[in-house]
Copies of this chain bind each other. A is one copy, B any other.
């Protein structure tokens, strides 16, 4: 029987690569995306396109009212910080941090995985070329796993122990891109920007765009998404 897994998919570069890794390891991978009141719903279209393109077993979108909770530039009208495209990403936890976002997302992935009878969960967190969010660090992921193994009926009764797969966690952005290219990820349909135009063109100036540009530059590849939009 094919092993089932659930992959948290935003439609960005990291989660698309994570899906490709899960599939390359032989998992039947179900993707889950969140409609959480993010500034740009175009993410969800891209997540669906990435799922289809790579051959996920299915794609589900779950709504969660993070906008009604607030506290982040990504779920409010607060401006997303921009900097010169070549500037390094700043120190500290930025205003694009969404309170407890990965905990909320992983909890819902955990619930969905349980209904599929699996505990295998993939998330594209990365603790090297990243924005400094606390819920991307290995010690956080390990603590989530321990909690999850005490939380669900399937784990507690021994049928589906929870394992959080983080294939990208110690890769540089360059290595992530090289891995994805090798596994056939079409990066032209991925969207990493925190503040894209309504038609899906990246701003080029937010932390996420700058980390992505640095990765492609170091990999010696042109970003195929540049100049792309949904027009």
Q: How far is the CB of A62 from chain B (nearest CB, A)?
A: 4
User: Of B66, B97, B144, B156, which is within 8 A of A147 by CB?
Assistant: B144
Give residues of chain A (71-110) contacting chain B, Cβ–Cβ below 8 Å.
71, 93, 97-104, 106-108, 110
User: Of B100, B111, B156, which is within 8 A of A99 by CB?
Assistant: B111
Instruction: Tell me if A217 counts as interface (CB < 8 A to partner B).
Output: no
Nearest residue in B to A100 (C-beta to C-beta)? B111
Expressed in whole angstroms, the Cα–Cα distance for A104 and B155 within the complex equals 16
Expressed in whole angstroms, the Cα–Cα distance for A137 and B155 within the complex equals 14
This protein's copies in its complex: 2
Q: How far is the CB of A140 from chain B (nearest CB, A)?
A: 4
Instruction: Tell me if A224 counts as interface (CB < 8 A to partner B).
Output: no
| In the complex, chain B residues whose CB is within 8 Å of the CB of A41 | none
Expressed in whole angstroms, the Cα–Cα distance for A148 and B104 within the complex equals 11
Instruction: Tell me if A52 counts as interface (CB < 8 A to partner B).
Output: no
Quick one: CB contact mask for A178-204 with B, threshold 8 Å, 1 for yes?
Answer: 000000000000000000000000000
Instruction: Tell me if A70 counts as interface (CB < 8 A to partner B).
Output: yes
Instruction: Tell me if A146 counts as interface (CB < 8 A to partner B).
Output: yes
Nearest residue in B to A132 (C-beta to C-beta)? B153
Nearest residue in B to A139 (C-beta to C-beta)? B150
Please determine whether B153 and A99 come into contact, CB atoms closer than 8 angstroms. yes
Give the interface SS of chain A, mostly helix, strand, loop or mixed: helix
A interface bracket (residues with beta carbon within 8 Å of B): 35 or more
Q: How far is the CB of A11 from chain B (nearest CB, A)?
A: 18
Please determine whether A104 and B107 come into contact, CB atoms closer than 8 angstroms. yes
- Partner-B contacts on A (CB < 8 A): 60-66, 68-71, 93, 97-104, 106-108, 110-112, 114-115, 133-135, 137, 139-140, 143-144, 146-148, 150-153, 155-157
Expressed in whole angstroms, the Cα–Cα distance for A71 and B150 within the complex equals 18
Expressed in whole angstroms, the Cα–Cα distance for A70 and B116 within the complex equals 10
Q: How far is the CB of A162 from chain B (nearest CB, A)?
A: 10
Expressed in whole angstroms, the Cα–Cα distance for A16 and B197 within the complex equals 46
| In the complex, chain B residues whose CB is within 8 Å of the CB of A156 | 93, 134
8 additional A-B residue pairs with CB within 8 Å, beyond A100-B152, A140-B150: A61-B68, A62-B68, A63-B63, A70-B115, A99-B111, A99-B112, A101-B111, A104-B108
